[in-house]
Structure formats: C-alpha cells, structure tokens
Structure 1
Amino acid sequence: MKYADYLQKSSLNKEEIMALAWGSLVEDPPEGGLACLPAPPMLMIDRIPVIEHDGNRGRIVAEQDVQLDAWFFQCHFRNDPVQPGCLGVDAVWQLIGLYAGLRGAQGYGRALGIKEIEFQGQIRPHNEVVRYEVAIRRYADLPASGSAVAIGNAEVFVDDELIYTMKDAKVGIFKGIQYADYPHHSPQSRGGKM
C-alpha cells in the first residue's frame, strides 16, 4: 500500500501487521523511516480493530490470541506458566509507537518510560484473547529535533476481564537511530544514552 493510504488506516488485520513488522507493508515509506512493530516472537498483537485520531489525542485497540504453546509459557515459569507482565507493558509501548507512526512521525520508536503500572490479574495458557485499549492523551511532533512523542493510558483485558492498568506510557520516535546493518559493527551498533 502507499504511505498516504497507510496514514488513513482505521484498523489493521493480521496480514498487515505482519507485513509492517517485516517492513513490506508500505511500498513508498518516508525517507526518515517508518515506525514499525517488532517481528515475532516479540510481536504481541494479532489485529488492531480500532485506530482513532482526535486532534493531538486518539485511541488504539489491539487484540492478541492466546496460544497454548506460546514461547513464554515454555519458560515463565516451569510448572506455573503465565504470560510475563512486562510483555503486556511492551505491547502497550508497541501500540503507542505504531500510533505515532500512523500520525506521520518518521523514524524508529523507543520506549521512554511509564509512570504507573498496576497488575490485578494474569494471562494463562487456556485464556483466549487479550485486548489492549490505549487512550492516547498526547501526541506531539518535535520539529527542532525531527522527533515525535506519544503518551497514553492503557487498560489490558483478558477474556473481557480487566487485569492491568497503565498511566502515562511514553514512546519517542527518532530519526537516524536505525541499526539496519546488524550484525556488523557500525556507528549504530552500540547503545547508550540517546
């Protein structure tokens, strides 16, 4: 699809999400880079039925089908399988970064923090669907640096039961940080303060 069409999306199906993760969804990505999703197994979403924009605010809702044999159930924990809570937090960061990209932010996303998280439940192998509902409370382009930032509050449900809440999850989109020549040593091959 064309980049202009991508920016108008109000939902994404599994095929589109996978193509975005692999970098093949948009045939004419912007020169500054297209904020994308991680590939499996770190990809934590299967479909996005809702993408809404309202000024510098918005909403994005995604669903994840729980798989009995998911990689994390195999190791977290032996004899007590549970989806790590940090993967739910990462799913929210993934969605906030994607939202920023859908608003036109160019570059690559990085989680910048979260103010508050509360876990009230868990995700087990025989659950069916996890739903991530993120209310974007602020999106801003930062013209001086060519960056963008999005901040959202989230609720995570498993089989329609609220199990996590998050406040002020923040993601930044930055140009010039991509490490496309991995695993070779290059200027982007080392991390540190951005």
Structure 2
Amino acid sequence: MTYEEFCKQGSFSLEDLLAFAYGNLVDDRPDGFDARLPAPPFLMLDRILTITSEGRQGRIVAEQDIRLDAWYFQCHMPGDPVQPGCLCVDAIWQLLGFYCVWRGALGAGRALGCKNVSFNGQIRPYNRCVRYEVDIRRFSHLKDSGASIVIGDAKVFVDNELITEITQAQTGVFSGIVYPDYPKHSRNSVGGMIRS
C-alpha cells in the first residue's frame, strides 16, 4: 500500500501487522519511516479492528488470539501457565507506537512509561481472545525535535471480561535512534538516554 493509503486506513489485518513489523507494508516509505512492530513471537496483536483520530485524540481497538502453545505459557510458570501481565502493557505500548506512525510520525518507537497499572484477572491457555481498547488522550508532534509523543488510557479484556486497566501509557517516536546494522558495533549499538 502507499503511505497515503496507510495513513487513511481504519483497520489492519495480521498480514498488515506482520508486513509492518518486517518493514514491507508501505511501498513508498518517506525518509525516516523507521518504525516497526515487534515480530512474532513478541508481537502481541493479531489485528487492529479500528484506529481513529479526532484532533489530538483518538481510539484504537485491537485483538490477540490466545494460543495454547504460546511461548510464554511454556516458561511462565511451569505447572501454572499464565500470560505475564507485563505483556498486556507492552501490547498497549505497541499499539501506541503504531498509532504515532499512523498519524505521520517519522522515526522509531520507544515505550516511555505509564502512570498506573491495575491487574484484576489473568490470561490462561484456554482463554480465546484478548481485546485491547485504547483511548488516546493526546497526540503531539514536537516540531523542534521532530519527535512525536502519544498518551493513552487502556482497558484489556479477555473473553469480554475486564482484567487490566492502564492509565497514561506513553510512547514516543524519535528520529536517528535505529540500530539496523546489529550486531556490528556502531553509532547506536549502546543504549542510554534518548537524545533526538
């Protein structure tokens, strides 16, 4: 698809998300279009049902199918398999980063934090579907640095039961931070403070 089509599309399939993760979704990527989603098995989404914006706000609804043989059930915890709650938080960061790029941000995404996380349930091997509902509180493009920041509140449901609430989750998209020549020792091979 073209970059213009990408920025106007209101839903994304698993095929779309995988293509985005591998950098193949947009044929005419503008310079600086470096963002990616994690590839499986760390991709925590199977589809984005809706993605919308209105001014500086918006909404994303996405789903993940639960698989009996998911990698995290094999190691967390033996004899008591449960999806780690932090993966629900990471799914929200993944969605927020995707939202930034969908809104026109250029660069690569990084999770920036969240205010509160409340776990009230769990995801087990025989659950069927996780739904992520994210209300975008504010999207900002910082003209001086070229960075973009998004803040959202999220609810996570498993088989239609609310199990997690996350407030003020934050993700940013920054230019000049990708490390495409891994494992070569180069400019971005060492972490630390993000300076864009």
Partner Cα separation in structure 1 for residue 28 and residue 175 of structure 2: 17
Q: Hey, which bits of structure 1, 4+ residues long, moved more than 2 A?
A: none
Contact 1:72–1:83 (CA<8 Å) still a contact in 2? Answer: yes
| Number of residue pairs matched by the alignment | 194
Amino acid at match of 1:112: L
Give the match for residue 142 of structure 1.
142
Partner Cα separation in structure 2 for residue 176 and residue 81 of structure 1: 39
Give the match for residue 62 of structure 2.
62
- 3-state DSSP of counterpart to 1:96: helix
Q: C-alpha displacement at 1:34, in angstroms? A: 3.9
Specify every segment of 5 or more residues in structure 1 that has no aligned partner in the other structure, as ranges. none
Partner Cα separation in structure 2 for residue 35 and residue 55 of structure 1: 22
Specify every segment of 5 or more residues in structure 2 that has no aligned partner in the other structure, as ranges. none
TM-score (norm 1): 0.99
Partner Cα separation in structure 2 for residue 34 and residue 137 of structure 1: 24
Contact 2:62–2:131 (CA<8 Å) still a contact in 1? Answer: yes
Q: Tell whether 2:20 aligns with 1:50.
A: no
Q: C-alpha displacement at 1:36, in angstroms? A: 2.2
Superposed CA RMSD in Å reads 0.6
Identity across the alignment (%)? 56
Amino acid at match of 1:42: F
Query: 1:55-94, aligned counterparts within 5 Å?
Result: 55-94=55-94
Contact 1:35–1:100 (CA<8 Å) still a contact in 2? Answer: no
**For each residue in 1:36-62, what CA deviation from the matched residue of structure 2 results, as whole angstroms up to 9, or x when unmatched?**
211011100000111011100000111
Give the match for residue 189 of structure 1.
189
Q: C-alpha displacement at 1:32, in angstroms? A: 1.4
Query: 1:139-178, aligned counterparts within 5 Å?
Result: 139-178=139-178
Contact 1:118–1:166 (CA<8 Å) still a contact in 2? Answer: yes
Give the match for residue 17 of structure 2.
17
Contact 2:127–2:158 (CA<8 Å) still a contact in 1? Answer: yes
